[in-house]
Amino acid sequence: MEIRQLKTFQTVATLLSFTRASRQLHYAQSSVSAQIQTLEEELGVKLFDRLGKRVLLTEAGERLRQYAQKILDLEEETRVEVAGMNAPQGALNIRIPETLGEYRLPPAIKRFHEQYPAVRLRFITCSHDGLQEDLRKGVTDLAFLLTESIHSADLNVEALGFETIVLAAPCHHPLRRRPRVRTADLQGETILFSRVDCSYMKSFLLMAQAAQIHFSAMIEFNSVAILKRCVKEGIGIALLPRIAVAHDIAKGQVAALKWEDAFEVAILMTWYKERWISPTLNAFIESTRTAFSR
């Protein structure tokens, strides 16, 4: 097995596409196919199932993916240490909740970019669904979450701070006048939430279940900005971190209900334990720690 073949295999295994892998690697698609075929012949197993245009890893392919990542990490670590290439370089793929991306992470990003302007940063705002698998595969280098906890033996998890989750309502909403709002008072309400932000939604739904209430509707958004606009238009009540609506509350555009069940979630930074921490990833982690410590 050659390092080049393992890199090609890992790219196909990550993208699950020979076409996209060839574009990313700047190879002809026939070259990608030939390298995978050579690996399969050498190992005596089939690594991918090709179902029409779809590509899926076989059981043997899944096993090789784990070993290939270790070998590629070791290859990169060796090259960096032997050649003395300790300066951050290359690219990072980072997953973030939208609220953190807008209100908390910019100081860390600014600090890092000023020090290492050549490093390519790619931020993806998406929920935590499938996150652990993406970290293991190397699709994601680092991730941030707004959640109460995450349990995984193969992830490093570091708490950076906390955010309070509030219920943001239209200014004219009748619940605004109440000195105390219980979760049970939300019976029949329309609840708005963001899928790119909302790891904490599960906690809220458990509260609703315990209170034995049902909502008239639940509307999901891919944008916190659109969600807040819908609150201002009187469409429903939103579950959001306080920092995401603090400015709107101060301007009198939305109201924070006096919700007695308001709760805190942790700002978590997480990465895969088994992967080598490159100088680039380590530098971004340290920039983030510094920004959050102020």
Partners of residue 270 on adjacent β-strands: 143, 157
Residue 84's pLDDT is 61
Q: Higher-confidence residue: 275 or 169?
A: 169
Confidence category of residue 81, pLDDT binned at 50, 70, 90? low
CATH fold label, 3-83: Arc Repressor Mutant, subunit A (1.10.10)
Q: Higher-confidence residue: 70 or 222?
A: 222
Overall size of the chain counted in residues: 294
Q: What is the CATH number of domain 162-265?
A: 3.40.190.290
Residue 283's pLDDT is 92
Query: Which amino acid does the sequence have at 101?
Result: G
In whole angstroms, give the CA distance from residue 196 to residue 293.
25
Mean of the per-residue pLDDT values of the chain: 88
Mean pLDDT of 63-88: 75
Mean pLDDT of 170-183: 94
182 token code pair = 């219980």
Checking 124-132 for CB contacts under 8 A at 24+ apart, the result is: 124/93, 124/94, 124/95, 124/96, 125/95, 125/96, 125/97, 125/98, 125/101, 125/196, 125/197, 126/95, 126/195, 126/196, 127/195, 127/196, 127/197, 127/198, 127/199, 128/199, 131/95, 131/270
Residue 172's pLDDT is 94
In whole angstroms, give the CA distance from residue 269 to residue 285.
8
Contact 291, 114 (CB under 8 A): no
Q: Is the pLDDT of residue 292 over 80?
A: yes
Rounded to 10°, the helix 29-43/59-83 angle is 110
Confidence category of residue 288, pLDDT binned at 50, 70, 90? very high
Q: Could you tell me which residues come within 8 angstroms of residue 78 by beta carbon, excluding any fewer than 6 positions away? A: none
Contact 36, 12 (CB under 8 A): yes
Query: Residue ranges per domain, the chain?
Result: 3-83, 91-158+266-293, 162-265
In whole angstroms, give the CA distance from residue 154 to residue 33.
32
pLDDT tens column, 246-271: 999 999 999 999 999 999 999 999 99
233 token code pair = 């238009």
Q: Is the pLDDT of residue 25 over 90?
A: no
Q: Does domain 91-158+266-293 have CATH number 3.40.190.10?
A: yes
Cα distances (angstroms) measured from residue 239 to each of 92, 194, 211: 30, 8, 17
Is there a shared CATH topology between the 3-83 domain and the 162-265 domain?
Answer: no
Residue 85's pLDDT is 60
Mean pLDDT of 227-247: 95
